Structures are given as structure tokens and as C-alpha cells.
């Protein structure tokens, strides 16, 4: 079986990381998998980059311009919305022609247009689409943030100026997506049970199959290592309790840094002895901007793309905190747990599927900085740390290993191929 995985980027972003890991897992389990990307960043022979051209940049810029215009020239939400009105035709590539099955991942920001996806469907090749967020089931947004319009049809979009209208950009894009899917079948896969449940409520995906398969992780890479040595390599203190926060862009409001700041303030006043022993390590872009906003000493590591260094960062930490306001199934929690680091996060999205409360980590009440502070205290002071650490490692090994995830995807592929042959 030859599978072509399609993603906008090769390495940047959680979806790219997950797609790469899946490609590796499939190739290790008898499937010939390649990855087709717009933004190629390595010399990997398994990853094919689309030939750079002025048109590939044009697709991105044209879509951004159209969204910018509908936002009345405001940059607010400019990169939170996608309309897929322009993109690359991958059906002309050799990799597409050679593939038995097309596996879409995150294909936004000028990679594929809705018309391009329709051409893929019209080719007759079976299509699997892994949902890394809710966009395939809505009109234009990647985060619904409590909006339920996608359950019937999107309009009066909260992201648009004035709350949109009955025939706004969301409504028109919804109709285009309905036309794209008309009389077509896609095997959708959500990375979490939460996202699967949300997608199944979508009026857009009515009648489509939506399975749930988590992202895989290489437990041979993400595994416990000696903490002291990891800290030495990163020039982090050996005698401090280290609280870790990781985000591609630390200033992203949805990653919840404001709640972590408040939780650290509460911890400083309520657990002064613990706070006096603790520092905060921040991995991600704009980390240095947080140093003056927290009552704890901050170690800003910036953006790191080297996998060995990232593994060291996890192993250097005593607890990982991700107070996101919206999440699917975050790779960062999975990575930290694989390294034996207990995690604390809000009860939102797929986080409670990864963290079993007070067994391998702590699930705090949503948007509750006090409970977040209590969770950090529980991990560092109250729990049987070694037992919680072992439980985190076991959870990842049993649920997210490359082999187990690959086998589940191969089952979906075989069913999609069988259905396509049956229709023919």
C-alpha cells in the first residue's frame, strides 16, 4: 500500500510533527508512506517539497488578503481563520499519481483550496483526513470557543466584525465546503475523543465517518533520561524545582500564559516555601517577554527545533504545565509524559484523555488559576512522585506508541480502499 501524507509544513507546528511521526510509524509497519509538503525544511528522502514558485506564495497572500478585507483591515483573527479559496493542485504531481491513498492533515494557508480537495476526491483515490483541529467541520475557524453554529450551518460568525451576518464569509465558505463534499466520501480521523464528538455534531460532516486515533510518539526518543545531566547540558540549575511551559508561540493567548502567571502568583502567596525553591522554564518563541511578568525566576529557552535538546528540556523539568484554553490532543503533554514528567492542564478538549487526574498528573478546573496552582503543588509536594511518573510513562506506551497507532490507521486505510473498490 502506498500512502501520500499531505501537510502544509514538514516540521513547523503540531500537525507537522504528528504527520512526520505517523509517516515513520507506517514505514516501520509495512506501508510505503511519503509526505508531500509546501514548506520542506530537511533533506529527508521520504518528504517531497512542492516546487517553490511565485504562485505558491501567491495562494497564501491572496487568501490572507481576502480574509483581511472581510475583517475590515484589522489584523485581529487574521491568522485564526482560513477559507481555502486558493491553493496548489497536487493531483498533477508524480507522488499523487503513484499513491493508492491520499491522507490529508493540516492543509491550510494556501496549501490546498476547497476546489483542489474536490479534484483529489474526483480522482477516485480514497481520502483519509486527520483533523488536528475543528476546521474541516466548520466554515472558517480552527477554534469554535463555545460557538455551536457549525452543528447546523455557519453564519453570523463571532470572528467577523459586528458578529457577521446571515450571508457572511462563514456562510459562503460553508456552502463551498458543502459543494466540495457533495456525493463524496472522506474517512475523517480525529486525534481525540473530544474532537471526534464535536466533528460528529457538524452539519457539514453529516453522513461522513469520523474515527478517533491519537497521534503517535516514538518512545525510543521521548523517554526518561538522567535529570542532572539534562540540566547541565541546558545550563539550568541543578538544585531548583523546575516548572516547564512549552508553546510554539508563548504569547498565544489560547495557550493560557495569563493563567500560569496568576497560578504562580497564587503559589507564591499560598505556598511560599515551594515558590522559594521553584523556577519557571519557558520553551518557545517570545519566551524572553515573560521574564518580568512572573514572580518566579524565569529561564527563557526561546524556540528550539533540535529534537535531542527538546527531550533534554522535558527531562530537566519536574512538572509540565499547559493551561491551554482550547486543545485537541497536545503533543507536548504526550512528550512530557513519555519522559516521565507529570503534567498539569485544564479540563478542556483532549487533555483529560491524556492526563488521568491524580494518577499520572493533575487535571485542573477550566480557567481556574487557583486549581492550576493547587495542581502544581500536588505534583511537587503531595503526590508519590515516582509512582505518578511511572504511570505517565505507562500511559503513553500503552496508548500512543508508533506501532499501536500505525495498526489502527492501517485498518482505516484498508476499509477506505475496500469501500472505494465496492463503489467502483
Q: What is the pLDDT of residues 137-186, one digit of tens each?
A: 999 999 998 899 999 999 999 999 999 999 999 999 999 999 999 999 99
359 contacts 388 by C-beta, under 8 angstroms: yes
pLDDT at 53: 72
Q: What is the DSSP string of 32-87?
A: EEEEEEEE--S--TTEEEPPP-HHHHHHHHHHHHHHHHHTTS--TTTTTB----S-
pLDDT at 424 over 60: no
* Angle formed by the axes of helices 385-399 and 331-338, nearest 10°: 120
| Residue 340 DSSP SS3 | coil
Identify the band that residue 110 occupies on the pLDDT scale cut at 50, 70 and 90: very high
Per residue in 243-268, pLDDT (tens digit) is: 999 998 899 999 999 999 999 999 99
Identify the band that residue 423 occupies on the pLDDT scale cut at 50, 70 and 90: low
Per residue in 262-271, pLDDT (tens digit) is: 999 999 999 9
Least confident of 10-19, 60-69, 406-415: 10-19
Identify the band that residue 421 occupies on the pLDDT scale cut at 50, 70 and 90: low
Task: Round the average pLDDT of the chain to a whole number and report it.
Answer: 95
pLDDT at 46 over 90: yes
Identify the band that residue 400 occupies on the pLDDT scale cut at 50, 70 and 90: very high
pLDDT at 87 over 90: yes
282 contacts 299 by C-beta, under 8 angstroms: yes
C-alpha–C-alpha distance, residues 130 and 187, integer Å:
8
pLDDT at 274: 96
Q: Which residues contact 150 (CB under 8 A, 6 or more apart)?
A: 134, 137, 138, 139, 144, 201, 202, 203, 204
Placement of cell 505558491 in the chain: 56
Q: How many helices (H) and strands (E) does the chain have?
A: 15, 13
Per residue in 326-370, pLDDT (tens digit) is: 888 999 999 999 999 999 999 999 999 999 999 999 999 999 999
pLDDT at 73 over 90: yes
pLDDT at 305: 82
Per residue in 53-68, pLDDT (tens digit) is: 767 789 999 999 999 9
Identify the band that residue 382 occupies on the pLDDT scale cut at 50, 70 and 90: very high
C-alpha–C-alpha distance, residues 402 and 21, integer Å:
8
pLDDT at 52: 76
Amino acid at each position: 500500500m502506498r500512502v501520500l501524507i499531505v501537510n502544509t509544513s514538514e516540521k513547523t507546528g503540531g500537525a507537522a510533527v504528528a504527520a512526520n511521526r505517523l509517516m515513520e510509524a507506517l514505514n516501520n509497519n509495512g506501508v510505503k508512506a511519503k509526505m508531500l509538503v509546501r514548506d520542506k525544511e530537511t533533506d529527508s528522502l521520504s518528504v517531497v517539497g512542492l516546487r517553490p514558485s511565485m504562485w505558491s506564495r501567491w495562494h497564501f497572500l491572496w487568501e490572507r488578503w481576502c480574509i483581511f478585507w472581510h475583517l475590515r483591515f484589522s489584523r485581529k483573527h487574521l491568522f485564526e481563520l482560513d477559507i481555502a479559496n486558493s491553493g496548489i493542485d497536487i493531483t498533477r504531481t508524480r507522488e499523487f499519481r503513484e499513491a493508492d491513498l491520499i491522507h490529508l492533515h493540516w492543509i491550510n494557508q494556501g496549501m490546498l483550496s476547497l476546489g483542489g480537495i474536490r479534484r483529489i476526491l474526483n480522482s477516485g483515490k480514497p481520502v483519509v483526513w486527520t483533523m488536528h483541529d475543528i476546521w474541516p467541520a466548520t466554515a472558517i475557524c480552527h477554534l469554535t470557543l463555545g460557538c455551536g453554529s457549525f452543528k447546523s450551518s455557519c453564519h453570523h460568525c463571532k470572528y467577523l466584525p459586528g458578529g457577521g451576518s446571515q450571508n457572511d464569509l462563514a456562510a459562503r465558505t460553508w456552502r463551498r465546503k458543502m459543494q466540495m463534499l457533495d456525493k463524496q466520501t472522506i474517512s475523517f480521523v480525529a486525534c481525540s475523543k473530544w474532537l471526534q464528538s464535536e466533528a460528529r455534531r457538524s452539519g457539514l460532516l453529516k453522513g461522513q465517518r469520523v474515527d478517533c486515533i491519537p497521534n503517535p510518539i516514538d518512545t525510543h526518543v521521548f523517554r526518561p533520561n538522567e535529570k542532572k545531566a539534562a540540566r547541565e547540558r541546558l545550563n539550568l540549575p541543578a538544585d531548583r524545582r523546575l516548572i516547564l511551559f512549552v508553546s510554539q508561540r508563548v504569547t498565544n493567548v489560547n495557550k493560557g500564559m495569563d493563567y500560569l502567571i496568576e497560578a504562580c502568583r497564587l503559589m507564591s502567596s499560598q505556598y511560599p516555601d515551594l515558590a522559594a525553591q521553584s523556577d519557571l522554564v519557558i520553551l518557545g518563541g517570545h519566551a524572553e517577554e515573560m521574564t518580568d511578568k512572573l514572580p518566579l525566576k524565569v529561564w527563557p529557552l526561546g524556540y528550539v527545533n533540535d529534537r535531542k535538546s527538546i527531550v533534554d528540556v522535558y527531562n530537566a523539568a519536574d512538572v509540565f504545565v499547559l493551561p491551554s484554553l482550547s486543545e485537541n490532543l497536545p503533543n507536548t503533554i504526550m512528550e512530557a509524559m513519555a519522559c516521565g514528567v507529570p503534567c498539569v492542564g485544564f479540563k478542556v478538549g483532549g487533555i483529560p484523555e491524556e492526563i488521568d487526574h491524580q494518577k499520572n498528573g493533575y487535571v485542573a478546573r477550566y480557567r481556574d488559576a487557583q486549581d492550576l496552582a493547587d495542581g502544581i503543588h500536588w505534583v511537587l509536594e503531595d503526590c508519590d512522585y515516582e509512582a505518578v511518573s511511572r504511570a505517565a510513562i505507562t500511559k503513553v506506551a500503552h496508548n500512543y506508541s508508533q506501532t499501536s497507532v500505525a495498526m489502527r490507521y492501517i485498518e482505516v486505510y484498508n476499509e477506505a480502499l475496500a469501500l472505494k473498490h465496492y463503489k467502483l
